[in-house]
Amino acid sequence: MGSEGKTKLQTLNFNQEDLKPGSNSWLFARSSVRKALEEDGCFMVLYDKGCYELEKRIFSSMKEVFDLPTETKMRNKYEGMPLKGYVGQNPRIPLHESMGIDDGTTLENIQAFAQKMWPNGNDQFCENLFEYVKIAEEVDQIVARMIFESYGLMEEHCENFIGSTSYLLRLLAHKSPSKEVEEPQLGFVCHTDKSFTTILHQNHVNGLMVETKDGDWIHVDFPSPNSFVVMAGDGLMAWSNERIKSPNHKVVMNNKIKKKNETRYSLGLFSFYKGILQVPEKLIDEEHPLKYKPFDHLALLNFGYSVNIKHYCGI
Ligand SMILES: O=C(O)CCC(=O)C(=O)O
Ligand SMILES: [Fe+2]
């Protein structure tokens, strides 16, 4: 802690038109990705692809779905996938609501979700969500390629990884505390993600806080509609043999600053490797002795937030 502690996430720019593998801007961004992940486990990325134009549509769709009656939202059931079911009306985190879409980067699964919410479907919702999720998936895959390359891993290794990735899309809403409440209120409990990486995006209402290695808490400000947070999950922490740590984070809603009753809508795209993840040989050396046994990444989801990945597959 202390005055010299970090107050901002590192911001990287993926907007250059020439961000093609092998170009100078790619190599520069690649080393920045590795550095930011090793230092903070998290960074902000600016990625232009259509987001300005999409922004209004995506968050009007988010409002539309969360404005549905609770019974309707509860039709999105857990079905064995812990991040999928509807969460809401929980007295411990009364401001929080969320629901997930398994394999949420496919139009088919987005449509199946919409069918549950609106029996006659909702084409506009599906179009907006699908357009958004493809952009987030692109960001995730650029990051994955950069991580693999920056550790000197062969392209086949990375392509195999990306080909076996499954994405869980989670839609979240955090209400603002009522006007009488002066103190900031917990929107979502402190945790680390179980994913390999998570891509987060939100509307203009801030609330995300990320803990640094020094124990400082950063209030994350998403500066523009084209900003995304990239966060390392426990899967990446174990796979990288702890070169990268998954940071603690939480959502805290505060009325004091804006005094407006605005809901914070956010979208989390969580990547999971469908299979056994193991630390690549290249990432094991004297300085970094093997810390994790090979593990079934998706099965990690069956453990609650209270279970540390070390208990699951730590050595
Ligand atoms: O709403 C957010 O920005 C963060 C949500 C989150 O941390 C999660 O769903 O794991
Ligand atoms: Fe999270």
Say which residues have a Cβ less than 8 Å from residue 304's Cβ, sequence separation at least 6: none
Helices H, strands E: what count in the chain? 8, 13
Q: Tell how far the Cα of 191 is from the centroid of ligand 2, in angstroms.
A: 6
Q: Tell how far the Cα of 306 is from the centroid of ligand 2, in angstroms.
A: 13
pLDDT at 1 over 60: no
Indicate which atom in ligand 1 lies nearest the CA of residue 249.
Answer: 7
User: Considering every ligand atom, which ligand is closest to the CA of 232?
Assistant: 2
Cβ pair 1, 208 in contact under 8 A: no
Residue labelled with tokens 């996430």: 9
The secondary structure of residue 263, as a DSSP letter, is: P
Indicate which atom in ligand 1 lies nearest the CA of residue 172.
Answer: 1
Lowest mean pLDDT among 15-19, 109-113, 119-123, 240-244: 15-19
Q: Quick one: average pLDDT of 216-245?
A: 96
Report which of 207, 203, 201, 219 is spatially closest to residue 269, judged by C-alpha positions.
201
Lowest mean pLDDT among 78-87, 91-100, 236-245: 78-87
Q: Tell how far the Cα of 33 is from the centroid of ligand 1, in angstroms.
A: 21
312/291 Cα distance (integer angstroms): 12
71/99 Cα distance (integer angstroms): 13
The CA dihedral of 23, 26, 31, 34, to the nearest 10 degrees, is -150
Indicate which atom in ligand 1 lies nearest the CA of residue 193.
Answer: 10
Would you state the structure tokens that stand for residue 39, as one six-digit string? 């230092």
79/85 Cα distance (integer angstroms): 7
pLDDT at 3 over 80: no
62/83 Cα distance (integer angstroms): 17
pLDDT per position as a tens digit, 164-199: 999 999 999 999 998 778 789 999 999 999 999 999
**pTM of this structure:** 0.96
Pocket of ligand 1 (CB under 6 A): 170, 172, 188, 193, 200, 202, 208, 249, 251, 266, 268
One-letter amino acid at 309 equals I
Lowest mean pLDDT among 21-25, 36-40, 119-123: 21-25
Set out the domains of the chain in order of their start, with CATH numbers: 11-313 (2.60.120.330)
Q: Which residues surround ligand 2, an ion (CB under 5 A)?
A: 193
Indicate which atom in ligand 1 lies nearest the CA of residue 250.
Answer: 7
Q: Tell how far the Cα of 268 is from the centroid of ligand 1, in angstroms.
A: 6
Would you state the structure tokens that stand for residue 46, as one six-digit string? 């600016």
Which residue spans within 217-280 are E strands per DSSP?
A: 217-219, 227-232, 249-253, 264-273, 276-277
Residue of higher predicted confidence among 114 and 21 = 114
Q: Tell how far the Cα of 220 is from the centroid of ligand 1, in angstroms.
A: 12
Say which residues have a Cβ less than 8 Å from residue 73's Cβ, sequence separation at least 6: 65, 66, 86, 88, 97, 99, 117
User: Considering every ligand atom, which ligand is closest to the CA of 250?
Assistant: 1
Q: Tell how far the Cα of 176 is from the centroid of ligand 1, in angstroms.
A: 15
Residue labelled with tokens 């979700």: 113
Indicate which atom in ligand 1 lies nearest the CA of residue 229.
Answer: 3
CA angle 44, 245, 83 (to 5 degrees): 75
pLDDT at 127 over 90: yes
Report which of 64, 52, 51, 73 is spatially closest to residue 123, judged by C-alpha positions.
64
Work out the number of other CB atoms within 10 angstroms of the CB of residue 271.
27
